[in-house]
Structure 1
Amino acid sequence: MKTTLIKHARLFNEGEAFVADVRICGQRIDQIAAEISATGNDHIIEAEGCWLLPGMIDDQVHFREPGMTHKGTIASESRAAVAGGITSFMEMPNVDPSTTTLAALEQKYQLAERHSVANYAFYLGATLDNLEEIKRLDPSQHCGVKVFMGASTGDLLVEAPAVLEAIFRDSPVLIVTHCESGPIIQRNLNDYRLAGIEPTIKDHPIIRSAEACYASSSYAVALAKKYQSQLHVLHITSEQELCLFDPGPVAGKSITAEACVHHLWFSDQDYPTKGNLIKCNPAVKSASDRAALIQALHTGQIDIVATDHAPHTWTEKQQDYMQAPAGLPLVEHALLSMLDHVKNKQLTLLQVVEKTAHNPAIRYGIAERGFLREGYFADLVLIDPEGSTAVSPASNRYLCGWSPFDGHRFSSRILSTWVNGTQVFDGYQLSSEPAAMPLNFAH
């Protein structure tokens, strides 16, 4: 059995930072100790001065397969993810056709088994008429059901109160929600039309306003309280919504919230330079909203940080504001962006580890991942805090070929990523060795 010995790294785990050695044996962490003697079988990695973290668990990505593979594939985007220190992902149902049946869900698992280099799980999408499919979900195998509670299109839009009540009453798995009020967004858009004004990207956070987000988020929270549901509200973007969520540790909460890396990084002040490249739903909002989200990471009102990685081609993004699709490619640079917040003293590294690894594992009940613990799967990322990473279209690994961070130099560098004990990224090259596994959930 292959073994790897990581020597003299600084570990960040469960509220503590300490220098230790870590031995990986097969798929798992075999030993963590102040000093571990090398054997003839060990592949030794000298990591003095480097940081060793549990790999990021990204609970919200759109990898575009099936049906939209000109934007991204499970193969391409999972490779970008592990190059960014993400070792597990949970992928959304708005592909083509939408993932709204257990048969379609199983097809995506089969695709991932063949092509993914990161551990994987997939959400079922809720529709107006697939409650029986939702009720058949297995809490030990399926991460959740995604409900677009407005501001979506096609069969994934669920606004009918009776249907929402039934989902919140009967779902056997975690309910995750996109919360924006379609009627409020339409009203805001109509105001522009009545005034004879053609909206531009700078109007995006006005049209998809904090009011629209709060109206939907508060409705979801009210439903969850009524039916004692397990609810996770995705990509919170406004200060107004934070009052809906309790502070404190994630363990034991039935209602939780997530923020995404781009909402922690960009603000409406970036629209003049970034334009449609940062068009996303819900919208990037004000600098004060961004500051409130960062503060909510400190209080625990925001429990998890994810990406909402959603690639589109460069050409698609160059269209006029109203035609340009919403979404950003983010997985390769998400963790690096969080480490810049650490350098800028807005967060601590232990908080980043908690929000990107520990809390997703706790909230979703992910078995034996998300922590640096003996016996756990060796999903690890090694960071050089003195290195740097320049972002450019020539360097990133997204199929779409661009990043909203193009032109930025991050203040750290990812040296290695391990998935289930296999080094899938060595800081330069990606491994073709199969290592990924489906996530299991021990609720």
Structure 2
Amino acid sequence: MNTYLIKNATIINEGKQFVSDVYIKNQRIEKIGTSLNIPGVKEINAEGKYLFPGFIDDQVHFREPGLTHKAEIYTEAKAAVAGGITSFMEMPNTVPNTLTQELLADKYAIAAQRSLANYSFFMGASNDNLEEVLKTDVKNVCGIKVFMGSSTGNMLVDNEKTLEGIFKNAPTLVATHCEDEATIQKNLQIFKEKYGENLTPEMHPLIRSEEACYISSSFAVDLAKKHGTRLHILHISTGKETFLFQNDIPLKDKKITAEACIHHLWFSDEDYKTKGNFIKWNPAVKTASDRDQLLKAVLDNHIDVIATDHAPHTLEEKLQTYAKAPSGGPLVQHAFNALFELYHQGKISLEKIAEKTAHNLAICFQIKDRGFIREGYFADLVLVDLNSAYEVNKSNILSKCGWSPFEGQTFHSQITHTFVSGHLAYENGTFNENKLGERLSFER
């Protein structure tokens, strides 16, 4: 098995910074200590660099099967690893939608053959597959995904009786996309009556409005409280929604948790003028005030985790008119860089980044032996040079779609090494694909 000794890294872990060595053996962290001397292993000089637990991304769309003209598990997992993401959880709105246990197993089989990163896949819920949902193996599947608002694919769950059944009987964590469809359709009709077919990206956050998000999120919270559901609300996009969540109890005791995404922490509605459809997501990027409140909620623990909602589409698809262009964009390669940029701006600490991208994911999803730099845990590790600048451009974008909403952005930090389950999968721009990622397991 591969063995490595990382020397003199500044470790960011569990609220602390300290300089130490890390010995990796048989996929796991064998020893953490100073002045370690292990004969016959590959040494990595990490002096001046920062060692983080690998980013666990609880919301990606890798488009396989059925939409592989946009992305594949193989290509996007590689982009993720280059971006410091060592584990991902992928969504069920592929083609066909992941609505049976057999289709879910098919995705795991693809990942086992093709994913450089560790992986898990959500079981999808629809208006009529509750029986299949209830068969989900809670120890080997990250959760159940419910679209309480329409997005890419046709998986809207809007039957209240069905929702009651899911929330009441779900055997594990339920993750929701929350936007009220009736409100969105009403807003869309108003804008169509006023502007006809001349809708623009700037209208997106007004059509998919704060009201649409809050109505749906508050409904989900009420349902979860009624049934005692373990609820996780994805991609919160408004300041108003952040007050639906508690920050006065330990995360391990929370039944209702929330996620913020990189694009909602970085962009605002002012950016539609220059970025247009390239920042068209569902839920929409909203105001600068919303963006600032989301970051505040991340810092004060109303919001528990940070993710990407990586959802690539082809350049040709995004260059269509607003009404025709699909929502979503690629983010896994640059999410960590964006957070480090916020660190350089004095907006978030390195310790908080590790907490919200790794520690809290492990706690929220009860992931076995990952998310922390601890002896005995899997060596999912990311080494970062916080003082190495580079510009995002088409020549260094790894996602299959070939574009990024961060094109032209200069980041002042670079990921130099990524270990996935003890395997050095990425080193200074070069991939080693001799060993693939592992399926995540859960202590439930």
Q: TM-score, normalised by structure 2?
A: 0.98
Distance in 1 separating the partners of 2:88 and 2:219:
27
Distance in 2 separating the partners of 1:124 and 1:395:
33
Distance in 1 separating the partners of 2:170 and 2:82:
35
SS at match of 2:251: coil
SS at match of 1:354: helix
2:286 is matched with which residue? 285
2:395 is matched with which residue? 394
Deviations 1:145-165 (A, max 9, x none): 100112347651101110000
- CA spacing shift, 1:436–1:96, aligned 2, 3 Å: same
2:105 is matched with which residue? 106
Distance in 2 separating the partners of 1:345 and 1:334:
17
1:118 is matched with which residue? 117
Distance in 1 separating the partners of 2:322 and 2:271:
15
Are the counterparts in 1 of residues 114 and 436 from structure 2 also a CA contact under 8 Å? Answer: no
Kindly report which structure 2 residues correspond to 1:103-252, keeping only aligned pairs within 5 A, or say none. 103-152=102-151, 155-197=154-196, 198-248=198-248, 249-252=250-253
Structure 1 unaligned residues grouped into runs of 5+:
none
Q: CA deviation at 1:138?
A: 1.3
Distance in 2 separating the partners of 1:154 and 1:305:
24
SS at match of 2:260: strand
Deviations 1:25-63 (A, max 9, x none): 120000001221131x11000110000000000000000
Kindly report which structure 2 residues correspond to 1:347-426, keeping only aligned pairs within 5 A, or say none. 347-426=348-427
> What amino acid maps onto 2:322 in structure 1?
Y
Q: CA deviation at 1:305?
A: 0.2
1:321 partnered with 2:342? no
Q: CA deviation at 1:336?
A: 0.8
Are the counterparts in 2 of residues 168 and 229 from structure 1 also a CA contact under 8 Å? Answer: yes
> What amino acid maps onto 1:106 in structure 2?
A
2:18 is matched with which residue? 18
> What amino acid maps onto 1:254 in structure 2?
K
Are the counterparts in 1 of residues 94 and 153 from structure 2 also a CA contact under 8 Å? Answer: no
> What amino acid maps onto 1:326 in structure 2?
S
1:92 is matched with which residue? 91
1:442 is matched with which residue? 443
Are the counterparts in 1 of residues 56 and 88 from structure 2 also a CA contact under 8 Å? Answer: yes
SS at match of 2:253: coil
Distance in 2 separating the partners of 1:59 and 1:127:
20
Deviations 1:245-291 (A, max 9, x none): 00144221000000000110000010010010000000000000000
Are the counterparts in 2 of residues 127 and 155 from structure 1 also a CA contact under 8 Å? Answer: no
Distance in 1 separating the partners of 2:27 and 2:290:
41
Distance in 2 separating the partners of 1:279 and 1:153:
12
2:4 is matched with which residue? 4
Query: Number of matched residues?
Result: 442
Distance in 2 separating the partners of 1:374 and 1:154:
42
Are the counterparts in 2 of residues 67 and 96 from structure 1 also a CA contact under 8 Å? Answer: yes
> What amino acid maps onto 1:13 in structure 2?
N
2:68 is matched with which residue? 69
Q: CA deviation at 1:389?
A: 2.7
> What amino acid maps onto 2:245 in structure 1?
F
SS at match of 1:244: coil
Are the counterparts in 2 of residues 9 and 50 from structure 1 also a CA contact under 8 Å? Answer: yes
SS at match of 1:308: coil
1:261 is matched with which residue? 262
Are the counterparts in 2 of residues 128 and 155 from structure 1 also a CA contact under 8 Å? Answer: no
Are the counterparts in 1 of residues 152 and 327 from structure 2 also a CA contact under 8 Å? Answer: no
Structure 2 unaligned residues grouped into runs of 5+:
none
Distance in 1 separating the partners of 2:192 and 2:76:
38
1:46 is matched with which residue? 45
> What amino acid maps onto 1:285 in structure 2?
K
Are the counterparts in 1 of residues 151 and 282 from structure 2 also a CA contact under 8 Å? Answer: no
Distance in 2 separating the partners of 1:211 and 1:269:
20
- CA spacing shift, 1:354–1:286, aligned 2, 3 Å: same
Are the counterparts in 2 of residues 134 and 145 from structure 1 also a CA contact under 8 Å? Answer: yes
How big is the alpha-carbon RMSD for the aligned residues of Structure 1 and Structure 2? 1.0
- CA spacing shift, 1:155–1:130, aligned 2, 3 Å: farther
Q: CA deviation at 1:434?
A: 1.6
> What amino acid maps onto 1:281 in structure 2?
N
Q: CA deviation at 1:397?
A: 0.4
Are the counterparts in 2 of residues 137 and 172 from structure 1 also a CA contact under 8 Å? Answer: yes
Deviations 1:99-119 (A, max 9, x none): 000000000000000000000
1:342 partnered with 2:343? yes
